[in-house]
Amino acid sequence: MKISFIQPSRNNLKYLKWSYDSIRKNQGNHEVEICVADDFSNDGTWEWCQERMENDAHFKAIRNEGPTRLGHTILYDRLINEVATADIAMIYHADMYLAPGAIDAIEKYIEPRKIISLTRIEPPLHPDGPEKILRNFGTEPEDFPEEGFLDWFAKEQHLLANKITEGIFAPWAFYRADFQKIGGHDSLYAPQSKEDSDIFNRFMLDGVEFIQTWEGCVYHMTCRGSRYNPTLTTVGKESNEWLAQNMRSTRNFIRKWGHFVKHDSMMKPIIPPKYDIGIKITNCNSELLELLEPWCSTILIDDEMQVLTTHYLDKEQKNTDYNLADKIKTTPLDTLQNEIVVTVDKNTFTDYDFQILQQLPEIIQANGSPGTYVLSNMSLKINKMNEYQSTLINL
């Protein structure tokens, strides 16, 4: 099988070298094209890439010359659309060691309209879950006991033979044609965070099948690219850059989908309905506007002098591609024409009310019908219950 590994990289050269060596050692008889995008690194990544291209005919690399970081949301797509030549590609991280037999397992299951995820073996840095194997083989390449890992894996792999579950996460292999059909990753989330959950939702709505193979594995040191990259933060601490971008991307995910990221215990997406919801707020203040704006299609506030709105747009518009000036209605003559309207009074709005709003699509799906209702301290008017999530499949 011919497959293109897709690897953006920024200032994580030691992980990239470690990952590269594992791929070349354990690729078996497959033709593996490694495609790297250097995102304006200053740690020698590009020089190493140039040396690899001279000595490895199946290694390709491009470079973002900066000074602005593009992030993997953009660079994944550039590598897939402009660099990769195989029909099958795989999103792959630099902090992953490819276990023997992994590409055999991909070949066993992959076909058009199917995405194959390899099972992650991870140190206990994050909560355990049924979709992964917790086993501590270190968190830095220099501490990785390669022979010990390979011995352990050889004993374990036969226990995982033919086991498959549903779920999708990195590393995930796919047909490039299926990726291109829906337009790839949404640049709304650039440079990173939530772009994977967004595209997984869109694949699922488009009818693509998810398969996690347990006989194909990687050892994953976790989050060495950005979140816990030691060049960006102290050991064991999330970087401030990642925290800020994750907040922006979370708010944009809610604006687009109407809910937080949701998935089952095996990491298969759960997609509630996307309704046309408007929120009307009386006695609004800046905090409540900031809290509720992402959760609706349109928001109406009592701000005739545009003081709250101007302040909010100055603060928030730079963080999203959505036109917030069109979304926020303020004049006494404005009315909400949304199919579903929620009315909120800041003076009576509670944390419990906010919890209800966050679950409103599921509540309406389960129990809703046209009419007017009281939800805690809020009123709810349902005119129509059209669902719009399928309109989000293609960019």
Give per-residue pLDDT as tens, 22-36: 999 999 999 999 999
CA–CA dist 355, 361 (Å, integer): 12
Average pLDDT for residues 261-282, to the nearest whole number?
A: 98
* Predicted confidence (pLDDT) at residue 235 exceeds the cutoff of 80: no
What would the pLDDT profile of 238-260 be if each residue is shown by its tens digit?
788 889 999 999 999 999 999 99
* Predicted confidence (pLDDT) at residue 275 exceeds the cutoff of 60: yes
Q: What pLDDT does 305 receive?
A: 86
Give 294's DSSP letter.
G
Average pLDDT for residues 183-189, to the nearest whole number?
A: 98
What is the residue extent of each domain of the chain?
2-257, 277-392
The one-letter amino acid at 387: E
* Predicted confidence (pLDDT) at residue 236 exceeds the cutoff of 80: no
- Cα→Cα distances 80→72, 95, 177, Å: 12, 20, 10
DSSP string, 34-50: EEEEEES-SSSHHHHHH
Contact between residue 3 and residue 103 where contact means Cβ atoms under 8 Å apart: yes
The SS3 of residue 197 is: helix
What would the pLDDT profile of 198-224 be if each residue is shown by its tens digit?
999 999 999 999 999 999 999 999 876
What would the pLDDT profile of 65-101 be if each residue is shown by its tens digit?
999 999 999 999 999 999 999 999 999 999 999 999 9
CA–CA dist 251, 42 (Å, integer): 31
Q: What pLDDT does 334 receive?
A: 85
The class (CATH top level) of 2-257 is: alpha beta
Q: Which two tokens stand for residue 317?
A: 């518009």
Helices (H) and strands (E) in the chain, counts: 13, 16
Q: Taking the CB of residue 246, how many other CB atoms lie within 10 A of it?
A: 17
Banded model confidence at residue 147, pLDDT cuts 50, 70, 90: very high
What would the pLDDT profile of 308-320 be if each residue is shown by its tens digit?
999 999 999 999 9
Q: What pLDDT does 223 receive?
A: 72
The SS3 of residue 263 is: strand
Q: What pLDDT does 301 receive?
A: 96
Mean per-residue pLDDT of the chain: 95
Q: What pLDDT does 104 receive?
A: 98
∠ Cα 311 339 379 (to 5°): 70
Banded model confidence at residue 126, pLDDT cuts 50, 70, 90: confident
Q: What pLDDT does 333 receive?
A: 76
What is the DSSP pairing of strand 209-220 with strand 164-165? antiparallel
* Predicted confidence (pLDDT) at residue 120 exceeds the cutoff of 80: yes
What would the pLDDT profile of 340-365 be if each residue is shown by its tens digit?
999 999 999 999 999 999 999 999 99
What would the pLDDT profile of 153-169 be if each residue is shown by its tens digit?
999 988 899 999 999 99
